[in-house]
Amino acid sequence: MLDFIQDIFRTLYNVEAVIAWGGLFVVCAFVYVETGLFFGFFLPGDSLLVTAGIFASQGKLNLTLLLVLGTICAFSGDQTGYWIGRKAGQALYKREDSLFFKKKHLIKAHNFYEKYGPITIVLARFVPIVRTFAPAVAGAASMSYKKFVVYNFFGGFLWIFSMSLVGFFLGHIIPNVSTHIHLIIAIVIFISLLPAIIEFLKERYFKK
């Protein structure tokens, strides 16, 4: 069973092969699931979008469709997460951990929301795991729906366009970018995890 799960994770994180296999449909599905459903917290959103941008620079994906459909899916995903939080409310915090739900991630997103307020919906887009749980936290906190929609669209737009266009321009300026794609993905993953690393170091420093 463990080997099967490990194989699934290896497959999902081989974003180049995933996009080559499923194209734009898989990119949009990953974006929606990661931003709207709790079990999507482990999906590689940032590296997926950057790689999709690189594919677009090579003519393997349509850039306009990637930007438009990606934004729609990111927006729809957060809308789903918001209504899950709005309907389930505080029951989410009492839910037991499972393979696809970790309460610590929900609490982390809650603390993020408490610290930054509504702008969390924008900032969380660029923080793995937090972006999955932040909409539900906003819903559970009864954030104004109209306000949420504005922040949600702005955040989704920024995330999809920035990640995809970074990949698109890297694909144009780096010769034989396909041979360096794994290095680019590694750098993207490191940068996306950097806020969490800094937060961890700050907590350890202050505890000391």
Q: Which pLDDT tens digit goes with each residue over 8-19?
A: 545 555 788 888
Phi/psi of residue 98, each to 5°? -145, -175
Q: What confidence tier does 128 reach under pLDDT thresholds 50, 70, 90?
A: confident
Tokens coding 76 = 């729809």
Tokens coding 84 = 């899950």
pLDDT for the residue 11: 56
Q: To 10 degrees, what angle do helices 181-207 and 45-57 make?
A: 150
pLDDT for the residue 83: 93
DSSP designation for 109: H
R_g (Cα) of the chain, nearest Å: 17
pLDDT for the residue 63: 96
Tokens coding 148 = 């949420």
Q: Of the segments 23-27, 117-121, 174-178, 181-185, which one has the largest average pLDDT value?
A: 23-27
Length, in residues, of the chain: 208
CA distance 91 to 87: 9
Asked whether 27 and 48 are in contact (CB, 8 A), the reply is: yes
pLDDT at position 5 over 50: no
pLDDT for the residue 10: 59
Helices (H), the chain: 2-13, 15-36, 45-57, 63-88, 91-94, 103-116, 120-123, 130-140, 145-173, 181-207
pTM for the complete prediction? Answer: 0.83
Residue 37 Cα distances to 20, 40, 77, 139, angstroms: 24, 6, 7, 14
Residue-wise pLDDT for 87-110, tens only, equals 887 777 777 776 667 777 788 788
Mean pLDDT of the chain: 83
